[in-house]
Amino acid sequence: MRRLGKWVVAVPMAILALATIYPLIFTANVAMKTRREYVLDRFSLTDSLHWDNIATAWNSVGMARYFANSLFVVAASVFLLLWLGSMAGFALSRLPFRGSKALFIGCLAALFIPFQVIMVPLSRVMADTGLIDTYPGLILAYVAQFLPFTVFLMTSYYRSVPREIVDAARIDGNTVYGVYRRIMVPIGRPALLSVGILDALFCWNDVLIALLMMPSADHRTLMVGVTSLRGQYTDNIPTFASGVLIAAVPVLLVYLFLQRQIADGVTAGSTKG
């Protein structure tokens, strides 16, 4: 490309970048305005930061409670996903056993079952076992939903670990479990980080599974809480925007610091699939 050509392309791309980021900036700006300010002029930069909208959303709307619910559910789900996923990935990639290939293919097949297809029977199973509307139930639903993906990526990653490392550790007298704990977990750290962030984002961002598994109001996760804002604050846009902002900021922070790991996780599937 000629140099001029590059600039001809760069200008529309910059406009698109602005269009991509502007709705977020707009929302953050609105969250800092008073209602009066918003009604008078939506676009102007707020003259001072009105944190009381955030405080209202955090306290009286109950975002604090939803936030804590989400944090707990996501942490527990991600922990279980990484633990079970790395164990299975280790066995499927580095331990020869009868049926391992079939299990891996079954896992791949499960990857292509979208939640929408199984949500009706799954909620019945959860109701029958008394797990509906409980934290263990929601955590289990998330683990089941994202486990095939986690197992798949951990298996692919562990396939790149030389067999000699496993064999050497076995000769040193480690049991299989010892190899898992002392070798595979530390060696798998980059993959665990990448997959863990993605799993955390999936769980944090989900609304359908949470709506279905946690019907009662005080069990709401943050995203379900955001959907309930819409009905309550249609005439108070700054408070509404504040709630949205509270839900978006953790993701923004994760993105700023761990963008590369997220991209690695997303593309790991594409290059191997």
Partner 1 sequence: MPTKNTSPAVRPTERGRTAGGGPRERSRHGAARRRGRSERFAPYVLVAPAVLIIVALRLYPLALGVNFSFTGDGEANGTPVGLANYLELLDDPLFQTALANVGLLVLLLPVAVAIPGLLATFIFLKVPGHRIFRSVYFFPAVLSPVIVGAIFNLMLAFDGPLNEVLGTIGLGPVDWLGDPGVAKFAVVGVQIWATFGMALVVFLAGFATLDASLLDAARVDGASLRQSIWHVIIPSLSQTIQFVFVTTMIGMLTSMFGLLYVMTSGGPEGSTYLPEYYIWIQQGQMNRPALASAASTVLFLIMLVVGLLQISVLRRAGRED
* Position 193 contacts partner 1 (CB under 8 A): no
Of the two residues 64 and 125, which places its CB atom closer to partner 1 in the complex?
A: 125
In angstroms, rounded to a whole number, what is the distance separating the alpha carbons of residues 197 and 29? Answer: 28
Of the two residues 112 and 186, which places its CB atom closer to partner 1 in the complex?
A: 112
Residue listed under structure tokens 């263990």: 136
Residues 99-118 that bind partner 1 (CB under 8 A): 100, 103, 106-107, 110, 112-118
State in angstroms the smallest separation of the CB of 59 from partner 1: 20
Of the two residues 5 and 186, which places its CB atom closer to partner 1 in the complex?
A: 5
Fill in the per-residue mask, 139 to 178: x = in contact with partner 1 (CB under 8 A), - = not in contact. -xx-xxx-xx--x-----------------------xxx-
Q: Total binding residues for partner 1 by CB under 8 A?
A: 92
Of the two residues 124 and 189, which places its CB atom closer to partner 1 in the complex?
A: 124
Choice from 21, 49, 55, 217 touching partner 1 (CB under 8 A): 21
In angstroms, rounded to a whole number, what is the distance separating the alpha carbons of residues 77 and 203? Answer: 8
Q: Which of 241, 246, 221 is nearest to 230 (CA)?
A: 241
* Position 237 contacts partner 1 (CB under 8 A): yes
Fill in the per-residue mask, 200 to 229: x = in contact with partner 1 (CB under 8 A), - = not in contact. -x--xxxxx--xx----------x--xx-x
Fill in the per-residue mask, 48 to 87: x = in contact with partner 1 (CB under 8 A), - = not in contact. ------------------------------------xx-x
Task: Calculate the alpha carbon distances from 217 to 53, 69, 122, 199, 213 in Å.
Answer: 22, 11, 21, 25, 12
- 186 token code pair: 């530390």
Of the two residues 64 and 212, which places its CB atom closer to partner 1 in the complex?
A: 212
State in angstroms the smallest separation of the CB of 84 from partner 1: 5
